[in-house]
Each structure stands twice: as C-alpha cells, then as structure tokens.
Amino acid sequence: MVVRDAILDDINGLILLGEQMFKESQFAKYDFDQDKVKEMLYDLIAHSSGIVLVAENNSSLLAGFAARYDDHWFAKCRVSFDIAFFIAPQVRNSMVSKRIIKTYITRAKAEGVDEILLGDPSGNNRETNDKFFMLMGFNRIGASYRFEE
C-alpha cells in the first residue's frame, strides 16, 4: 500500500470514500453534498491551502485524509487542522493510519506550521481513536459538545 499526495484525478474516488465515511458518522442525518466536497478538495489540492493524502493499493483508493493550513485567528502563528480522515473497513487494522498521520505531521512541519491539530468529531470508536492519537504524539486538549433538544 502506498501513501501519496492526492492529485485532481483522485477527487471522484475521494468523494466516494467521503460518502462512505459520512454514512458511518453522526452526520448521516444530513444530505451529503458531493459538489461542496469536490470544491473543497479542489481548493486543497490545486491551491496548496492544505494537504490531501490517499492510500492506495493496485490503483484502488483505500484511505483519504484532508487538512488545512491557516493563520491562527488570534496570533501570528500557523495552524493545521484536519477536515476528514477515513480508512476503508478492509484496511482499518493495518498500518495505513499510522503512515498517513506520520506524513501529515512531517508535511505540516515542512510548511512551517506552529501547531498541528487532529480531531475526531465522528464519535465512533472514541477510546480506540484516543489511544491511537496519543500513540502518535498528540495530546487531548479539549472536547466538543453538541446541543440537542
């Protein structure tokens, strides 16, 4: 399996992975907007406003990761934050997650990012994901809460 930068030709495959991720998440109650996802991926890939990685095996996309680089809103520092991270079910117990996160860290540092963030808003496998992120060098710094009536 190869982890590499996504290219524009990967966008349709990434959209399919994104739709699969979406269906497994807490966001499945919303309508998945392929055009919106396509625009975001195009911006990240074509304008280098972040990083999009794919993992593929025999030309089949099995994982996707997207993050944005930006100036922090309150200080003169750069921050990177993930937008999406999805691993196809058949490779979830492989080393692909580790390879993608290591690549993300290396690339964010090369971009001069001061703070590298990684989140998990899906709510799926919280304890497992928490352990994995800490194993990769991340520390829990807060939490997200959703208001529900």
110 falls within a domain:
yes
What is the maximum alpha-carbon separation in the chain? Answer: 47
pLDDT the model gives residue 10: 97
Q: Which CATH number characterizes residue 106's domain?
A: 3.40.630.30
pLDDT the model gives residue 117: 95
Domain that holds residue 40: 2-135
Q: How far apart are CA 96 and CA 93, in angstroms?
A: 8
11 falls within a domain:
yes
109 falls within a domain:
yes
100 falls within a domain:
yes
Q: At what angle do helices 34-46 and 11-24 cross, to 10 degrees?
A: 130
- Sign of the Cα torsion 103, 98, 16, 61 reads positive
pLDDT the model gives residue 102: 96
Q: How many domains does the chain have?
A: 1
141 falls within a domain:
no
57 falls within a domain:
yes
31 falls within a domain:
yes
- Taking only the tens place, the pLDDT of each residue in 86-123 is 889 888 878 999 999 999 999 999 999 999 999 876 66
- Taking only the tens place, the pLDDT of each residue in 16-62 is 999 988 888 888 899 999 999 999 999 999 998 899 999 999 989 99
DSSP assignment letter at 92: T
